Amino acid sequence: MKTTRVRPTGRERTFSEGELIVTKTDPRGAITYANDVFLRISALDEDDAVGRPHNLIRHPDMPRAVFKLLWDTLKDRREIFAYVVNLAADGAHYWVFAHVTPSFDDSGRVVGYHSNRRVPSRDAVAAADDLYRVLRTAEGRHPRPQDAVIAGYTALQQVLAERGRTYDELVWDLSAGGTR
C-alpha cells in the first residue's frame, strides 16, 4: 500500500462524458468499492484504494470548507452535489461533478456513502476554480486547520449571500453554465 505524499504535477487528466466514476465508502469514509474508471483516473490499484480513506485523492487546492459542507450535509442524511478537483496517485489532477449520497440499511441506519462522478463542463470548472480560489485565500490566512475551515466556510456563506443563492442553487447554476 502506497503511503508517500503525492505532489501535484499540474498535469490534468480527463475522462469521457460517457464514463462514470463510482466509489462506495463505509460510514467513516474508507473506500469499500471503486470501479475501474476510478482506478484508472486516480492511478490507483484496487489494493491501494479499497480500505483506504477516500481523502487519499484530496488535492491540496480543494478548499477544506467544501469538505466541511459535504460532511455536514451527509451527516444530515442528505445528498450533495459538488465540483471537486482530485489528485491522482501519479500527481495528475482531475475535476469531477460529484453526487454523494448516504446509503441506508433496512432499519434506516447510515451504512456508508455512494458517490458518482461525471465530467464537468469546462465553464463549470473555471467558475468552481474561481470560487475555490476565494475560499483558499480565506483559509490560507489561518495556520490552524480548524480556523482555516471556519474562515473558508464563512467566505463561502458570504459569497452565497452576495449572490442570493443557496449552495445547491449555486452548484446548479454552474451546471447550467451560470456566471462566475
Encode pLDDT of 20-62 as tens digits. Answer: 999 999 999 999 999 999 999 999 999 999 999 999 999 999 9
pTM for the model: 0.93
Q: What is the chain's mean pLDDT, rounded?
A: 95
Topology of the domain comprising 21-175: Beta-Lactamase (3.30.450)
Residue ranges covered by each domain of the chain: 21-175
Dump pLDDT digits (tens) for 2-19.
Answer: 556 899 999 999 999 999
Residue 53: CB partners within 8 Å, gap ≥ 6? 28, 29, 30, 31
Q: How far from each other are the two terminal CA atoms of the chain, in whole angstroms?
A: 40
Residue whose grid cell is 466556510: 153
Cα separation, 60 vs 139, in Å, equals 12
Tell me, what DSSP letter sits at residue 6?
P
